[in-house]
Amino acid sequence: MAIYLNIILFILLLSGLIYLQLHFKNWSLSRKVFIALILGLAFGIILQLIYHNVNTTIIHQSVEWFNIIGNGYVKLLQMVVMPLIFVSILSAVAKLHNASSLGKISCSVISLLLFTTFISAIVAILVSYLFNLSADGLALGSLEQTRAIKLQDIKNNSLDSLNIPNMILAFIPSNPFQDLAGLRSTSIMGVVIFSVFLGIAALKLINDNPENGTTLLSGINLIQQWIMKLVRIIIQLTPFGIFALMTKMAATSDAKSIISLGIFIIASYTAIAIMFIIHGFLIALFGESFIGYFKKIIPVMSFAFTSRSSAASIPLNIQTQEKRFGVSKSIASFAASFGATIGQNGCAGIYPAMLAMMIAPTVNIELNLSFMIMLVLVVTISSIGVAGVGGGATYAALIVLPVMGLPIELVALLISIEPIIDMGRTALNVSGSMTAGIITSHLLNQIDKNQIEVN
């Protein structure tokens, strides 16, 4: 009976958001998303308070129904990720006047992603010192021990080939249809590379046969407009997805785990907050508003936070860069796509660096300057491809820690609070890719303020 009551209340609240969507069309998406976020948080906390000490099964069974909206929305965004990346980059390359522009965009975006990851590793080290983080006294329970064994197996069996040459080779698609279906961990980069080559071929066709080239370009434009109409339809559903995802997060959070490892959570979010501020300052150096940046990214940050998926955030990421900051479509597409696989500030930057700082003293490794310089360099280099693998933060840690001569057991201990930290890390990852896109557009003078939407 309680489950049905929860579902009815959920539907009523959802109906309220639908009413808001239909009757307040002049409200910005950011405002609607913020209302949905607060509503979902409040509803989830109420469910947690009522049922957590009574019958948690009720919460989980209720969430299964809520997931129809929350996970359904995530799946819809995932549905358009590959088509959007493919057609956006294909269109962007086909419209370039020369191939040198492509090289400038790629180099600028990747350099900025790695630069911000470099900074995030430094921030993680400083915050670890500030909070005096240490792995001393942390014990593994049965669940964590099982997880540690699995992680060791992953390291031994799956990560042996993850050196830099193999990472680069993993990006190159041998079967583009396989990557368009998302069947590889590096599928996004595979689609990017395939689209780039197809776009270059289109450029050559335009030069060699202008008549056929013009027809091809018209076809690409038509398909792009079609896909963008689809993306806009799904993005309008964002408040409903955010509401369901936030309800799930608030209702199912493990309060005991959060309290027991509270200092690490606070330290992690302190580092994440500092990096957000650094992103804002970097944007401000190129004439954007510091406060305005954070106001404009509310929808995409809310989704990234609740969904914990950088890849699924790509459609919102691209639209935000274009419609809120005037970033060119080509740069927005490259930044969002590269940012989902390269230089993720949260998962591949802050997390492994912070773990290394916690573990090193427990195995009698001195935290001297040479250790920290090596740590920052290892974190930055390993971020090139690890974040493209599912569970990017875990894989990043599994590569960084052994390279630094550190054990991996602490990764298993943090399994209970992983979702709580991962939400903030994912939002930071997406912010990092947007920062790279916005700055690149300014550097290459490809900002178009006329395409910015007021709302």
**Amino acid in position 230:** L
pLDDT interval class at 409 (50, 70, 90): low
CATH label of the domain that carries residue 305? 1.10.3860.10
Q: Which pLDDT value is given to residue 162?
A: 54
Q: Which pLDDT value is given to residue 34?
A: 87
pLDDT, mean of residues 22-32: 83
Which one is predicted more confidently, 402 or 44?
44
pLDDT, mean of residues 291-304: 92
**What is the distance of C-alpha 2 from the center of its chain?**
35
- Split into its structural domains, the chain has a count of 1
Give the pair of three-digit tokens for residue 82.
């590959």
**Percent with pLDDT over 70 in the chain:** 85
Q: Which pLDDT value is given to residue 264?
A: 86
Domain that holds residue 29: 2-451
Q: Which pLDDT value is given to residue 257?
A: 61
For residue 155, pLDDT over 60 is answered with no
Smallest CA-to-CA distance from 112 within 431, 399, 452, 397 is with 431
Task: Looking at mean pLDDT, say which of 42-46, 202-206, 268-272 comes out highest.
Answer: 268-272
Q: Which pLDDT value is given to residue 361?
A: 84
Q: Which pLDDT value is given to residue 77?
A: 87
**Percent with pLDDT over 90 in the chain:** 34
Give the pair of three-digit tokens for residue 4.
């049905």
Which one is predicted more confidently, 433 or 141?
433
Give the pair of three-digit tokens for residue 174.
């041998």
Q: Which pLDDT value is given to residue 434?
A: 96
Which one is predicted more confidently, 445 or 399?
445
Structure confidence by residue, pLDDT tens digits, 82-137? 898 898 888 888 877 666 677 888 899 999 999 999 999 999 999 999 998 877 65
pLDDT interval class at 385 (50, 70, 90): low
Spatial distance between the Cα atoms of 263 and 138, rounded to a whole number of angstroms = 12
pLDDT interval class at 300 (50, 70, 90): very high
Structure confidence by residue, pLDDT tens digits, 215-233? 998 998 899 889 988 988 9
Please report which residue ranges of 285-408 form alpha helices under DSSP H.
290-296, 298-307, 314-325, 329-339, 351-359, 369-382, 392-403
415 CB neighbour count, 10 Å cutoff = 18
Q: Which pLDDT value is given to residue 410?
A: 64
pLDDT interval class at 421 (50, 70, 90): confident
Phi, psi for residue 447 in degrees, rounded to 5: -90, 130
Spatial distance between the Cα atoms of 101 and 94, rounded to a whole number of angstroms = 11
Supply the pTM of this predicted model: 0.82
137: left (phi over 0), alpha (psi -120 to 50) or beta: left
Smallest CA-to-CA distance from 82 within 90, 71, 92 is with 90
For residue 214, pLDDT over 80 is answered with yes
Spatial distance between the Cα atoms of 241 and 29, rounded to a whole number of angstroms = 13
Structure confidence by residue, pLDDT tens digits, 302-354? 999 988 888 889 999 999 999 999 998 889 999 998 888 888 899 889 999 99
Q: Which pLDDT value is given to residue 11?
A: 93
Structure confidence by residue, pLDDT tens digits, 47-87? 988 887 767 788 889 999 999 999 899 889 888 888 988 98
pLDDT interval class at 386 (50, 70, 90): low
Each residue of 170-181: b (16+ CB within 10 Å) or e? bbebeebeebbe
For residue 153, pLDDT over 60 is answered with no
Smallest CA-to-CA distance from 346 within 300, 298, 374, 304 is with 304
**What is the distance of C-alpha 59 from the center of its chain?**
27
Spatial distance between the Cα atoms of 181 and 171, rounded to a whole number of angstroms = 15
pLDDT, mean of residues 291-311: 90
- The CA radius of gyration of the chain, in Å to the nearest whole number, is 22
For residue 379, pLDDT over 50 is answered with yes
Q: Which pLDDT value is given to residue 98?
A: 60
- Cβ(147)–Cβ(412) below 8 Å: yes
Q: Name the average pLDDT for the chain.
A: 84
Q: Which pLDDT value is given to residue 274?
A: 97
